[in-house]
């Protein structure tokens, strides 16, 4: 069928109810638009696992703090729509801000201590904004499966925790990060990088790989590994927000008895915030 575009809640619910009444599984990919190959990979994975795929585009004001790039965030709805048509997506949900948040809305969702670590320390309120919009979108779309990228690993864990604790009847599928050939994780914000910054940007992933290799080789001086990579990145011109080796389950500081770890990093390069991570399974 041709791509359906819905802007109001009643319309999208009618489509999804029809599909589910026919026994069709619905996959959902929430985005803020400016779609790139990483988003489209999520769409492909949803198409492989479900019968119908819904993509939403909504630049959520709740997850932007004061002085962040809400107004500058790239909005490319016409181009995004063409890409989704080319991929055979079933439905594009384009809610308005007024349609999602009433003037008197005062309800938000917060996911405990996990939201205050790492990115949450430097972006207070960010993950509450993410959890609130995902909660609302899940209530509106009512999919069987939710597809999220692993690039923002903390966000993925927060959404998983929210869905589990609020008993949403939806499965969460975390999809591995899609990268450029030089290792840079795909992101809509990469378009902010100038030519010189773009050349330097892959150094973030290289630092993650170096730290992973040291841990795989048996090094357990967690703070020392973190300090070394921060120094390397700062010498290369990055302003490092954090470079943290954590438990993959709760993002608390790494310990020797953890079954697996994740290294989370956030940096500022020029005017652009970049995040990335790499997971390490104990051998």
Last residue of a domain, one of 175, 204, 237: 175
Last residue of a domain, one of 175, 197, 231: 175
Q: CATH number for the domain including 63?
A: 3.40.50.620
In a domain, 281, yes or no: no
Q: In what order do the strands lie in the sheet with 171-175?
A: 4-6, 91-93, 52-57, 26-31, 145-149, 171-175
- Strands 4-6, 145-149: pairing is unpaired
Q: Which residues are catalytic?
A: 39
Choose among 137, 40, 126, 122: nearest CA to 81. Answer: 40
Query: Are 170 and 209 members of one domain?
Result: no
pLDDT in tens, 24-64: 999 999 999 999 999 999 999 999 999 999 999 999 999 99
Range of the domain at 129: 4-175
Q: With contact defined as beta carbons under 8 Å apart, do 135 and 166 qualify? A: yes
Rounded Cα gap, residues 247 and 114, in angstroms? 12
Average pLDDT rounded to a whole number, residues 4-17: 96
- Strands 239-247, 171-175: pairing is unpaired
The C-alpha torsion from 195 through 197 and 198 to 199, rounded to 10°, is: 90
- Looking at the chain, the whole-number percentage of residues with pLDDT higher than 70 is 100
269 confidence band (pLDDT: 50, 70, 90)? very high
In a domain, 85, yes or no: yes
In a domain, 181, yes or no: no
Q: With contact defined as beta carbons under 8 Å apart, do 98 and 105 qualify? A: no
Gyration radius from the chain CA atoms: 19
In a domain, 232, yes or no: yes
Predicted local distance difference test score (pLDDT) of residue 273: 97
Rounded Cα gap, residues 137 and 129, in angstroms? 12
Rounded Cα gap, residues 121 and 114, in angstroms? 10
In a domain, 254, yes or no: yes
Query: Are 119 and 92 members of one domain?
Result: yes
Rounded Cα gap, residues 229 and 184, in angstroms? 17
Query: Are 125 and 245 members of one domain?
Result: no
In a domain, 61, yes or no: yes
In a domain, 111, yes or no: yes
In a domain, 203, yes or no: yes
Query: N- to C-terminal Cα distance for the chain?
Result: 47
201 confidence band (pLDDT: 50, 70, 90)? very high
Our CA angle for 25, 177, 179, nearest 5°, is: 130
Q: CATH number for the domain including 227?
A: 3.30.1300.10
Query: Are 16 and 138 members of one domain?
Result: yes
- 187: three-class secondary structure by DSSP: coil
pLDDT in tens, 151-163: 999 999 999 999 9
Rounded Cα gap, residues 4 and 93, in angstroms? 8
pTM here? 0.96
Query: Are 89 and 146 members of one domain?
Result: yes
pLDDT in tens, 92-136: 999 988 888 877 778 999 999 999 999 999 999 999 999 999 999
Last residue of a domain, one of 151, 175, 199: 175
């Amino acid at each position: 069928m041709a791509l359906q575009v819905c802007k109001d809640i009643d319309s999208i619910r009618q489509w999804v109810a029809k599909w589910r009444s026919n026994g069709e599984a619905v996959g959902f990919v929430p985005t803020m638009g400016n779609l790139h190959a990483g988003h489209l990979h999520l769409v492909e994975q949803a198409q492989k696992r479900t019968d119908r795929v819904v993509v939403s585009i909504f630049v959520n004001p709740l997850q932007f703090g004061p002085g962040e790039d809400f107004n500058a965030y790239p909005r490319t709805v016409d181009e995004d729509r063409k890409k989704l048509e080319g991929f055979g997506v079933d439905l594009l949900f384009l809610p308005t801000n007024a349609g999602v948040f009433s003037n008197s809305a005062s309800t938000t969702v917060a996911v405990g201590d996990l939201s205050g670590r790492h990115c949450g320390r430097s972006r207070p309120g960010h993950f509450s904004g993410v959890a609130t919009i995902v909660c609302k979108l899940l209530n509106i779309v009512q999919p069987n499966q939710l597809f999220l990228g692993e690039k923002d690993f903390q966000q993925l864990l927060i959404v998983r925790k929210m869905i589990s604790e609020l008993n949403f009847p939806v499965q969460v599928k975390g999809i591995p990060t899609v990268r450029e050939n030089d290792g840079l994780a795909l992101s809509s914000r990469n378009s902010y990088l100038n030519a010189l910054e773009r050349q330097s940007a892959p150094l973030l992933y290289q630092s993650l790989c170096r730290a992973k290799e040291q841990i795989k080789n048996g090094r357990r001086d967690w703070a020392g590994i973190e300090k070394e990579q921060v120094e390397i990145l700062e010498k290369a011109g990055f302003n490092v927000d954090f470079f943290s080796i954590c438990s993959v389950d709760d993002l608390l500081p790494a310990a020797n008895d953890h079954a697996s770890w994740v290294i989370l990093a956030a940096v500022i390069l020029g005017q652009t915030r970049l995040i990335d991570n790499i997971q390490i399974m104990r051998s």
